[in-house]
Chain A
Amino acid sequence: MIIERILIFLLFIIGFAAIVAMPNIIKKIFGLNLMNAAVVLLFILEGSRIGDQAPILGDGVKHIVDPIPQALMLTAIVIGVCVSALALALAVRLYKATGSLDINVITKRLESEH
């Protein structure tokens, strides 16, 4: 249990580091996706602590996992897809406007236009 949590923590930190440290905006968006994936995994892992069968009722099914985190994360995954699609479209737009994906170059070029 502790190993999975440390791995999820590392995934979250890697995503955050990509957002903070990477100058490329595509890599920042991928970092956002990584953080989203870490949160989804954490919820699924926590919900699975009280059972060991899939939450589908039927004959002989006794100890199902908690279905509520799974239903919540269904929402979170779709929202994550929406966010990354919108962010990638904005990245394309920025690239067309400034000709670069590097955030420092983008800032410099936008400042020099004013």
Chain B
Amino acid sequence: MKALTRMKIMLTILILGLAVLPVLLSDTPWPVQARDYLFETAKSDTGADNTVSAIYLGYRAMDTLGETLVLLVSITGTMSILINLGRNKVDEESIGFSLEPEKLPRHSLRTNLIEVVASKLGPIVLLFGLYVMLYGHISPGGGFQGGVIVASGIVFLALGTELKTKLTNTIVLSRIESLSFLFLVLASISGVFFESGFFGNPVKSLQNISPNFIILLNIIIGMKVGTSIAVMCIAMMGGSHDH
């Protein structure tokens, strides 16, 4: 029985390998037309130097809206599953992280080391995340990347500090998240009233399109991604009830 299962597993992996290998070893030249087109027109169409930002907030902004919707649905599912579980009785001996002389509650996810490192690092990581978020149109980065860094800063704060800030409260965070989705929808339809269409840049000028709209969308998406990933992490650390 055991050997038969192993044979089946090996056969499955072999078949998948044979199916995937030609995809990886194909030698078709990569088309350059799209790259050349973006190289010439991305700056004048959207105002962003970073062509990746120009794609996901300019040409394909609709896709970004769908992506944030996926994020919203996934966090709704995760939170509903985790909250319905409730907090069961913590086994003090089995899942303590702190050592004996540290005089912390055994079940907390804290040690003196984590507290010292994470609480000092948290604000710096938050600042760096805001930088990546705000300068996404001219440098590597953008809303999603900056949002993830902001989320890790919030998780550092939640891990490191005993004092309860508003920033690590899941209710506040999830309100910010829903509000930023509302702002994203409002920003997406704002172009309609200025004759530039759905997700069009509402500030129209003939010569140089300013990247302000891209910056605005980057901030909104950064808030959305940062708060939703932070909420999921804090909920998985079991912190959704202590506020």
Contact = CB atoms under 8 A, between A and B. Distances in A.
B193 interface: no
A5 B139 CA distance: 28
A83 to B, nearest CB: 7
Q: Interface extent on A, as a size class?
A: 35 or more
Contacts of B225: 78
A89 interface: yes
A22 to B, nearest CB: 10
Interface string A54-94: 11111000001111101100110111011101101110110
A50 B35 contact: yes
A47 B55 CA distance: 15
Interface in B37-70: 38-39, 42-43, 49-52, 54-56, 60, 63-64, 67, 70
B3 interface: no
Given A16-B13, A55-B51, A67-B51, A96 B236 contact: no
A49 B60 CA distance: 23
B189 interface: no
B84 to A, nearest CB: 8
Contact of A56 (B17, B34, B74, B139): B139
A44 to B, nearest CB: 11
B74 A83 contact: yes
**In terms of DSSP, what is the predominant structure of the interface of chain B?**
helix
B50 A55 contact: yes
A65 B236 CA distance: 38
A48 B43 CA distance: 21
B85 A79 contact: no
A71 B144 contact: no
B67 A79 contact: yes
- Give the interface SS of chain A, mostly helix, strand, loop or mixed: helix
B138 A56 contact: yes
Given A66-B34, A67-B38, A75-B64, 7 more contacts: A13-B20, A50-B32, A56-B49, A56-B50, A79-B70, A86-B74, A89-B81
Interface of B: 9, 12-13, 16-17, 20-21, 24-25, 29-30, 32, 34-35, 38-39, 42-43, 49-52, 54-56, 60, 63-64, 67, 70-71, 73-75, 77-78, 81-82, 85, 88, 138-140, 142, 144, 225, 229, 232, 236
Interface of A: 2, 5-6, 8-9, 12-13, 16-17, 20-21, 42, 46-47, 49-51, 54-58, 64-68, 70-71, 74-75, 77-79, 81-83, 85-86, 88-90, 92-93, 96
A-B pairs, 5 with minimum CB distance: A82-B74, A71-B55, A67-B51, A89-B81, A55-B51
